[in-house]
Structure 1
């Protein structure tokens, strides 16, 4: 059983005009308990619900280990939320997560149960956020894109919560394989 930690819960700080459309990619860590419903974190926002949000993309999780890889690659700081993720994790291989994998975040009484549904498909707004032309293509090609999660059981989360992989399918594509075309 894999156990990780939730190192940041990130909510929209400001809705901004990106290169392709209005975006809520500017997410930053918040303290305290944050309620989670079927459509994600209470107090968060998605601007273009054709591509973001909805039950199968209620939460976006990104691994701090992948953020550290990008920090080395780009020679810059990658703080929690910079890529627009709601949940920044530690100790979980999100790139290697199998579609259908389930995670318990927090305890069984107040925590949440989520299912890995798909990799993020980044758009030009990520390039605008990073200030790097066509960065979203480079990001996608690495397979280090993070995962969209479906909320199976609502509850609440907070920084420091334990994340336990409670179910992992025996086979199936991983986030990295689906993203990079491997």
Structure 2
């Protein structure tokens, strides 16, 4: 679908709260700002995200490269078909719920205008176990990653205001044309795809430096252990 038909359905922000690990058979609680509330009217967005939005764990969330998380409403239709449940109420942590663009349509480095703000696509979201806790589905985070319906992050190139109903326009395409969907596939799923790693490295200037280093190691013949991914996707008690 072209960017001219893409639009913001909801602007969502949230405060730090807790998620219960017992929802997936674990123990204790964990801090999270995953559950967010739709905002009415224009919401200001700056270098670190929307006014009123927080991140509970700043070691892995937030910062200028992860200022805004975007998720496509079309994906929720797919989750209904796959899970028999509509996840829209709690959501998957997104700040912007949109229609008309997915991870297959955007590339790291693309510049996107929404409302009076200007954004730059930075990376696909690497889902963590907190998605599973929020919905009580133990393998949800792994499903999100495997499906490619991850959502993607935006950095803020020009602060402004965004509201539900705003149109979304890609005003500049990154020259490499490596989609966020493809980045997720190569980084997280097909780790032995050396040709894929070489292709994704053509987008190196627009990717997180540690991802670039990881891909270069793979091209040189090293593939990392899955242990850290398992911890990220399923958490630890």
- Same fold per TM (> 0.5)? yes
**Alpha-carbon deviations, 1:91-137, whole Å to 9, x = none?**
1133431111111001xxxx111011011111111110121012111
Aligned 1:101-112 pairs, distance under 5 A: 101-106=110-115, 111-112=116-117
What is the root-mean-square deviation in Å for CA atoms of aligned residues? 1.7
Give 1:32 shift.
Answer: 1.1
Give 1:177 shift.
Answer: 1.4
Q: Does 1:12 align with 2:14?
A: yes
Aligned 1:80-95 pairs, distance under 5 A: 82-95=91-104
> Normalization by structure 2: what TM-score?
0.70
Q: Does 1:39 align with 2:44?
A: no
Relative to structure 1, the CA distance from residue 114 to residue 80 in structure 2 (aligned partners, 3 Å threshold; closer, same or farther) is: farther
Other structure's SS at 1:43 match: coil
Cα separation, 2, equivalents of 1:83 and 1:31: 19
Alignment length (residue pairs)? 178
Maintained 8 Å contact 2:66/2:155: yes
Larger Rg: 2
Pairing partner for 2:171 from 166, 172, 175: 166
Q: Does 1:150 align with 2:155?
A: yes
Give 1:14 shift.
Answer: 5.8
Maintained 8 Å contact 2:70/2:153: yes
Structure with larger RCO (C-alpha < 8 A, sep 6+): 1
Q: Tell me, which stretches of 5 or more residues in structure 1 are unaligned?
A: none
- The equivalent residue for 1:118 is 123
